[in-house]
Structure 1
């Protein structure tokens, strides 16, 4: 199976290179990895023995952020090095000040793994949620560098638990400890002989709760909202935006803020065509004479504002539920806002919990989003209270993780190794 894995990685790299000619993300993916090892050598001193955090993308970064920020509080002299797989994480956080270095993760090959880990020489490595790379994990294990997975979550339909998943189970065997989100994940790991797992919960709860208590005020947004009730559409895609447009026609007394997942020029123009009265945030910011109160809809055409926008909302819609899966519902819930999303949410425990508690609804079409809106319009306070309490009750994963890994940083205690 290893040879198939290696061929798959090479084919993936070739495909991205071909797409990079006309795809912006693919271009970033290739250019960002150019001269990567020379750049690491210029930036990182392996004698520092940094803590290596790896994230697939921006969402995983926010998930792991409470852990490395708390770690830096306890070990202020410790260096942190961060890698990203996706441009959507790296390009947004490449200047994050608390890291000694931020890089793209080279494609997973035996030679790349040896060079990267030698260049970093990390004291420990921490990966978040879903990223499992054979050669990187094996090389960490070979060099006796402890590897932890935080906010992990497993499902019975994953390849690890299939009869043909022995190679993927091998990858898991290199991990020293899993901090997982639910009890099901603990039990599933036990079925394949892995008992190095703790039910810690999801570190995102710590992050979103902190963000909600210290949300920055945005004067231009406050002026746009005025005294009107506000509906926030977060990380939306075209199918989501079509349904939200229907709501704007039914509720002219509400204000609508759209923060689309993709903010390329073509998508923003498509939204403006669909919402002809909409105002973009860039225009609102750059043209002082714009009267934002005359507009019902505001399009956020930048990255990084969404988590603060929820402070102005009464109901939130989370995009992605008509694609591969919904985006982050917890940011809105932390502000005490009920949430609405599309049908594909079964892989997200927090979404299922919020639905069960009555603080969220899943919709499939215009009629169901209209009904969900009406439900939450009438009981916004009670549903919002449930959402906020749910987040508050789930905090604590960060402290549990830090307590566990501290001995690996503070002493030379021997740590359990997976098979060679």
Structure 2
């Protein structure tokens, strides 16, 4: 794709963006806030040299917590600018870095739409000393403008599935030139590194997955134990984590004849009402998490996790979990949070966005993966009745996360070199 075609398409996106924000804002009013930032107009006050970290949404924001805390410790004279693409990402940043934001050491903003003008306004206002993009965020005009200003940009904890690599390959020279402008690409796995190099990246290293270094909130275990008391300690609790549209019916069908209590947690908060309507339509006995104030009656079948910021608490209250996004061809979701809490995970056949960590978790006995969705009912039933297997998998999940830590230190060593150049 010629760059002028991409530029024309991005300007069309910019023109239509208010419509999207208004539409999304009907369900999530936060989409109607800070609209000027989407076009590169900012009011944040800069009091020190900036290190810019882009975390598009919830998963990347949580994963970046240990890195940002390490940066604040190593560079006390700097501020950190966290940019996001979604309100839920921004809200998550406020949850996991509350004190740092309150003190002014961490600023938050939306990354602007990738037009040349918005990119210029972004850099003119913030003037960062270094840019760190998390996972797979290639914005061609922003990266080109950073290169023009001789500001180093690194792609960290980078992952690129085969499907995404094919998509970027179709852009040809546009992708190649963008990757060449990056000062560093720190890939999660050797396979990710090879795919990025094939597309044009240089200065590539393998660093591991930053999500293994995330420390769950200190209160997670205590809060999880309290939630488990409400759910019932004599029941088997199955958490359906970060489910996506179309997956809830599959899971409900798989547990409908069992005694398992289903803790159902949709991926996106705007779907809470939709999933509740599904439970009503099926005539299921359910309780909303936000209304759960006393021990459940034994006849309750489903607890709908309609709260924000409680994923670790939900895991701590569960015996085992099903990973959302993996029952349909959506690529799966992050299984590391479950493993960190010692929760065995059932994975569907579609974990292609987390292919290597899936293979390693299954090999470590921290997770089981189904070849076909038809196996779901039996897989749940087998784990529900085999408590010894669940305990063994729980221990394996804890060991698995411990063995994969250390990415933050490797990334900090690389960042130190970039800031000194």
Once residues 83 and 229 of structure 2 are traced to their aligned partners in structure 1, the CA distance between those partners, rounded to angstroms, is: 36
Aligned with residue 336 of structure 1, among 342, 363, 373: 342
Once residues 265 and 190 of structure 2 are traced to their aligned partners in structure 1, the CA distance between those partners, rounded to angstroms, is: 34
**1:172 Cα deviation (Å)?**
0.8
Aligned with residue 300 of structure 2, among 282, 295, 298: 295
Once residues 131 and 20 of structure 2 are traced to their aligned partners in structure 1, the CA distance between those partners, rounded to angstroms, is: 31
For residues 210-229 of structure 1, what are the alpha-carbon distances to aligned partners after superposition, in whole Å with 9 as ceiling and x for unaligned? 21876242224432232322
Q: After the TM superposition, which of the residue ranges 182-191 and 153-162 deviates more from structure 2? A: 153-162
SS of 1:63's equivalent? helix
Structure-2 change in CA distance of 1:90 and 1:244 (3 Å): same
SS of 1:40's equivalent? coil
Q: After the TM superposition, which of the residue ranges 396-405 and 87-96 deviates more from structure 2? A: 87-96
Q: After the TM superposition, which of the residue ranges 80-89 and 198-207 deviates more from structure 2? A: 80-89
Residues 155 and 184 in structure 2, CA contact (< 8 A), matched pair in contact too = yes
For residues 56-97 of structure 1, what are the alpha-carbon distances to aligned partners after superposition, in whole Å with 9 as ceiling and x for unaligned? 211111122211112112333421111111233124435743
Query: 1:33 maps to which residue?
Result: 35
**1:362 Cα deviation (Å)?**
3.4
SS of 2:36's equivalent? coil
Q: What is the aligned residue count?
A: 403
SS of 2:353's equivalent? coil
Once residues 341 and 389 of structure 1 are traced to their aligned partners in structure 2, the CA distance between those partners, rounded to angstroms, is: 19
Structure 2 residue 408 is matched with structure 1 residue 398 = yes
Structure-2 change in CA distance of 1:382 and 1:293 (3 Å): same
Residues 40 and 119 in structure 2, CA contact (< 8 A), matched pair in contact too = no
**1:176 Cα deviation (Å)?**
0.6
Once residues 354 and 250 of structure 1 are traced to their aligned partners in structure 2, the CA distance between those partners, rounded to angstroms, is: 29
Query: 1:417 maps to which residue?
Result: none
Once residues 284 and 356 of structure 1 are traced to their aligned partners in structure 2, the CA distance between those partners, rounded to angstroms, is: 37
Once residues 160 and 231 of structure 1 are traced to their aligned partners in structure 2, the CA distance between those partners, rounded to angstroms, is: 36
Query: 1:72 maps to which residue?
Result: 72
Q: How does 1:159-178 map to 2 (within 5 A)?
A: 159=166, 162=169, 165-178=172-185
SS of 1:122's equivalent? coil
Structure-2 change in CA distance of 1:39 and 1:268 (3 Å): farther
**1:343 Cα deviation (Å)?**
2.4
Structure-2 change in CA distance of 1:350 and 1:271 (3 Å): farther
**1:398 Cα deviation (Å)?**
0.5
Structure 2 residue 89 is matched with structure 1 residue 89 = yes
Computed over aligned residues only, the root mean square deviation of the Cα atoms, in angstroms, reads 2.8
For residues 191-240 of structure 1, what are the alpha-carbon distances to aligned partners after superposition, in whole Å with 9 as ceiling and x for unaligned? 45544111110100111xx2187624222443223232211111113433
Structure 1 length-normalised TM? 0.86
Query: 1:273 maps to which residue?
Result: 281
Query: 1:307 maps to which residue?
Result: 312
Structure-2 change in CA distance of 1:236 and 1:18 (3 Å): same
Query: 1:240 maps to which residue?
Result: 247
Once residues 130 and 394 of structure 2 are traced to their aligned partners in structure 1, the CA distance between those partners, rounded to angstroms, is: 39
**1:338 Cα deviation (Å)?**
1.8
Once residues 280 and 164 of structure 1 are traced to their aligned partners in structure 2, the CA distance between those partners, rounded to angstroms, is: 45
Structure 2 residue 325 is matched with structure 1 residue 320 = yes
Residues 33 and 106 in structure 1, CA contact (< 8 A), matched pair in contact too = no
Query: 1:142 maps to which residue?
Result: 148
Structure-2 change in CA distance of 1:38 and 1:111 (3 Å): closer
**1:35 Cα deviation (Å)?**
5.8
**1:365 Cα deviation (Å)?**
6.3
